Amino acid sequence: MPRSEGLTVKNLRVTTAGKEILSGVDLSVPAGEVHALMGPNGSGKSTLAHTLMGHPAYTITSGSIHFAGQDITHLRADQRARLGIFLSFQYPVAVPGVTVVNFLRAAMRSQGKELPAREFMKALTAEMEKLKIDPAFRSRYLNDGFSGGEKKRCEILQMAMLKPRLAILDETDSGLDVDALRIVADGVSQLRNPDMGVLVITHYYRILEQLQPDYVHILHAGKIVASGEAELARTIEKSGYEPILGPEAASPEALPV
Ligand SMILES: Nc1ncnc2c1ncn2[C@@H]1O[C@H](COP(=O)(O)OP(=O)(O)OP(=O)(O)O)[C@@H](O)[C@H]1O
Ligand SMILES: [Mg+2]
């Protein structure tokens, strides 16, 4: 698969609220590969995720984003979603009044992936079973009163139904108990295919152990400062960021809890 089929980010600079958060990010996630993005709190991981999705609060001041052979730097979020980019939020928002079923139907319709009602319900029931989500959640309002882990599983349910070509998972593993983590990791693994790239943002080695990323990148102060194989994540798990970033990264605030 040529690299142009995946995601290519070049020298991306991004500001929000008048402050530069990303200061020249270079990153490629070819279709079919799983890449992990790690880095201390506040290093810009979620900012990168939101920028890739086209969130209007983040202004690209230079650089480019190419996806599936197209320059998407200036596309709106809905246009990017239609191209198959999916973001699982670090903090999924509640949408009272919109049920999980209706949300998913609308999301699929907006991406031209609508299924006949019966087929849709069959697919939804099957995916919910795989993710061990109680069928009663179909008629609950999206994320409204969901526990942290239920929200994260519901994000993976959306991904399973939408079948994106680039899945960005922003700390989908945070707050999951060990069983839920395995279910989510298995869910993502089952969806892996040669046409889909995955960018997993995480603080922990645990999920990477199960997902076996092709590459791990470290974001620090708005730049990718190191890239390597899965071993890099293990080093961080064992020794923190100091060996990679130097002593200033070892302050308690800079390290994941
Ligand atoms: N909308 C915003 N307004 C103001 N500041 C912002 C905004 N979004 C991000 N920032 C700032 O940008 C920096 C990077 O934040 P970001 O959420 O991208 O970090 P992160 O790497 O995802 O951290 P964490 O590991 O804690 O999730 C932080 O200092 C944050 O306060
Ligand atoms: Mg974040």
Instruction: For a ligand 1 pocket test, name from 23, 43, 255 the mutation site with the most ligand atoms within 8 angstroms of its C-beta.
Output: 43
Ligand nearest to the CA of 23: 1
Number of domain units in the chain: 1
Say if CB 168 and CB 196 are below 8 A apart: no
Q: Is residue 39 assigned to a domain? A: yes
Instruction: For a ligand 1 pocket test, name from 13, 19, 47, 59 the mutation site with the most ligand atoms within 8 angstroms of its C-beta.
Output: 47
Pocket of ligand 1 (CB under 6 A): 16-17, 21, 39, 41-47, 57, 90
Ligand nearest to the CA of 90: 2
CA distances from residue 30 to 167, 169, 196, 226, 231 in whole angstroms, order as listed = 12, 16, 8, 18, 20
CA 41 – ligand 2 centroid, Å:
7
Q: What is the CATH number of the domain that holds 63?
A: 3.40.50.300
Q: Is residue 174 assigned to a domain? A: yes
Which is more confident, 87 or 250? Answer: 87
Question: pLDDT tens digits for 208-235?
Answer: 999 999 999 999 999 999 999 999 999 9
- Comparing CA positions, the residue from 54, 49, 65 lying closest to residue 12 is 65
CA 112 – ligand 2 centroid, Å:
30
**In which band, very low, low, confident or very high, does the pLDDT at 249 lie, cut at 50, 70 and 90?**
low
Q: Is residue 111 assigned to a domain? A: no
Q: Is residue 177 assigned to a domain? A: yes
CA 253 – ligand 1 centroid, Å:
14
pLDDT of residue 248: 66
Say if CB 104 and CB 156 are below 8 A apart: no
Q: Is residue 186 assigned to a domain? A: yes
Alpha-carbon distance of 98 to 138, in angstroms, equals 11
Alpha-carbon distance of 17 to 58, in angstroms, equals 8
Enumerate the β-bridge partners of residue 85: 166
pLDDT of residue 197: 97
- Comparing CA positions, the residue from 170, 185, 187 lying closest to residue 37 is 170
Alpha-carbon distance of 195 to 238, in angstroms, equals 33
> Has residue 96 got a pLDDT over 80?
yes
Q: Is residue 125 assigned to a domain? A: no
> Has residue 257 got a pLDDT over 90?
no
- Phi/psi for 138 (5° steps) reads -55, -40
> Has residue 256 got a pLDDT over 60?
no
CA 42 – ligand 1 centroid, Å:
5
- Comparing CA positions, the residue from 208, 89, 96, 215 lying closest to residue 159 is 89
Q: For residue 69, count other CB atoms closer than 10 A to its CB.
A: 10
Question: pLDDT tens digits for 18-73?
Answer: 999 999 999 999 999 999 999 999 999 999 999 999 999 999 999 999 999 999 99
Q: Is residue 139 assigned to a domain? A: no
**In which band, very low, low, confident or very high, does the pLDDT at 160 lie, cut at 50, 70 and 90?**
very high
Q: Using H for helix, E for strand and C for coil, what is the string for the chain?
A: CCHHHCEEEEEEEEEECCEEEEEEEEEEECCCCEEEEECCCCCCHHHHHHHHHCCCCCEEEEEEEEECCEECCCCCHHHHHHHCEEEECCCCCCEEEEEHHHHHHHHHHHCCCCCCHHHHHHHHHHHHHHCCCCHHHHHCEECCCCCHHHHHHHHHHHHHHHCCCEEEEECCCCCCCHHHHHHHHHHHHHHCCCCCEEEEECCCHHHHHHHCCCEEEEEECCEEEEEECCHHHHHHHHHCCHHHHCHHHHCHHHCCC
Q: Is residue 126 assigned to a domain? A: no
pLDDT of residue 255: 47
pLDDT of residue 2: 44
Parent domain of 219: 3-93+165-254
Question: pLDDT tens digits for 176-202?
Answer: 999 999 999 999 999 999 999 999 999
